[in-house]
Amino acid sequence: MICENQKIGVDIIQPIVPHYRAPLFEGLSRLHNLDLSIQCAAEWPPGDRSVAMNIADYYPKNPIKSIPGTPFVWQDNLRLIKVKKPGDVLVVCGDLHFISNWPLIWKAKQLGAGLIWWGHHWSATTNKWLYPVRLLLTRMIADCVLLYTRTGRDLYIDYGFPDNRVFFTGNTLDLAQIDNALAEVTPCNLQDFKRQHDLGENVLLFCGVLREKARLDLLLEALAQIKEFNVQLVVIGDGPYKEYYYNLAEDLGLNDSILWVGEIRSEKKLVWWYKSARIFVYPGSIGLSLMHAFAYGLPVLTHNDINNHMPEIEALRVGINGWTYEVGSIQSLTQALKKALAEEDLCSEMGDRAFRMIREEYTMEKMITRFSECILACSRMALARRC
């Protein structure tokens, strides 16, 4: 049994720790009742790298290898570090492709530790054939399921999971960094920035990795049909499809109205581009980019196929803080852009609602609290099994 002054040992296993996840883990590591370790790869897939964190027991030294001839991967050198006794907790990524988690799960169970299965309920990357298998294994093996959204939690409960075993984090970003960046912006220096970059009033913003799923081609095709609006598009990001998108824009005669900014990670640099834009447009499957735009007070336009987005799409409320268009339809996207650009006051109101909503409902503090509540519940369940 864990005494009141005894910390719960927690091992969290992740593929990588991206920059947006570091504030969550650093926040958990500061909680007085948890003794935390994080293990992950330095890079996965190639180009996506783990960031440095201010956590004593952080080990980005677990490379991931594909298993030839199978869809599975193996993460090397995983071990139990903090999980040593009954009531400690192992947190694993809920991706069935990572079969290296199973030996750790078995060892943790032998010690009487609890297991948290952390992941998406459904997203654009979910394998529909593995989904029922994941549900079955989760119900059989995990003490608690930790999902990203309230919608995901409600769905799992509808599937028959006990409500005391299903939790959600409310996936978000570190708003403190964004608020610090916003504090540097004044109407005067923002106008200076816009003049410096020759930005007008009808600025659309895309920020993300330039890959196929971003579907920037749809946005470029739509922009070619609304040249009368004198729209400018700012593209922030890099990726394998950069050359393809650039060449398409050139073929469509658009490159004079597009600024290809490249990859930017610093909020102090991003803030100027976000504050210069009227609408954030992500024609493909959107995730945390939605929350990022909302944090800066931008309404969002994306497609309407909810099952082909990441879980964060639940924060989009059509007509309240953004719009949708018919997935894959250039004509629908064109009409949505025309409507949004014609309603300047509505754009501003939607942006204000988005700004307030994320600060009321999706804070990092709430995410840390919900995660820690799941850990505590999991620890209690593990101890109860031994009574």
For 241-298, write each residue's pLDDT tens digit.
Answer: 999 999 999 999 999 999 999 999 999 999 999 999 999 999 999 999 999 999 999 9
Q: What is the CATH classification number for the domain harbouring 57? A: 3.40.50
Domain assignment of residue 2, yes or no? no
pLDDT, one tens digit per residue, over 188-206 is: 999 999 999 999 999 999 9
**Gyration radius of the chain over CA positions:** 22
Q: Give percent above pLDDT 90 in the chain.
A: 91
pLDDT, one tens digit per residue, over 328-346 is: 999 999 999 999 999 999 9
**Claim to verify: residue 247 and residue 338 sit in the same structural domain:** yes
**Claim to verify: residue 159 and residue 183 sit in the same structural domain:** no
Environment class of residue 265 by beta-carbon count within 10 Å: exposed (0-12), middle (13-18) or buried (19+)?
A: exposed
**Claim to verify: residue 137 and residue 229 sit in the same structural domain:** no
**Claim to verify: residue 319 and residue 373 sit in the same structural domain:** no
- pLDDT tens, per residue, the chain with 387 residues: 555 578 999 999 999 999 999 999 999 999 999 999 999 999 998 888 999 999 999 999 999 999 999 999 999 999 999 999 999 999 999 999 999 999 999 999 999 999 999 998 877 677 777 788 888 989 999 999 999 999 999 999 999 999 999 999 999 999 999 999 999 999 999 999 999 999 999 999 999 999 999 999 999 999 999 999 999 999 999 999 999 999 999 999 999 999 999 999 999 999 999 999 999 999 999 999 999 999 999 999 999 999 999 999 999 999 999 999 999 999 999 999 999 999 999 999 999 999 999 999 999 999 999 999 999 999 999 999 887
Q: State the pairing for strand pair 8-13/34-39.
A: parallel
Domain assignment of residue 3, yes or no? no
**Claim to verify: residue 82 and residue 94 sit in the same structural domain:** yes
Average pLDDT for the chain: 96
pTM for this model (two decimals): 0.93
Domain assignment of residue 1, yes or no? no
Say what the pLDDT of residue 1 is: 53
Total number of domains constituting the chain:
2
Query: Within the chain, what is the greatest distance between any pair of CA atoms?
Result: 72
**Claim to verify: residue 289 and residue 229 sit in the same structural domain:** yes
**Claim to verify: residue 151 and residue 39 sit in the same structural domain:** yes
Q: What is the CATH classification number for the domain harbouring 218? A: 3.40.50.2000
DSSP 35-64: EEEEE--SBSSTT-BPPP-S-TTEE----E
Say what the pLDDT of residue 149 is: 94
CA distance 333 to 353: 23
Domain assignment of residue 258, yes or no? yes
**Claim to verify: residue 113 and residue 238 sit in the same structural domain:** no
**Claim to verify: residue 95 and residue 184 sit in the same structural domain:** no
DSSP H helices in 116-215: 130-141, 150-158, 175-182, 187-196
**Claim to verify: residue 121 and residue 91 sit in the same structural domain:** yes
Show the domain range for 248.
Answer: 175-361
**Claim to verify: residue 260 and residue 291 sit in the same structural domain:** yes
In three-state secondary structure terms, 282 is: strand
Domain assignment of residue 90, yes or no? yes
Say what the pLDDT of residue 129 is: 78
**Claim to verify: residue 72 and residue 111 sit in the same structural domain:** yes
pLDDT, one tens digit per residue, over 135-148 is: 898 999 999 999 99
In three-state secondary structure terms, 15 is: coil
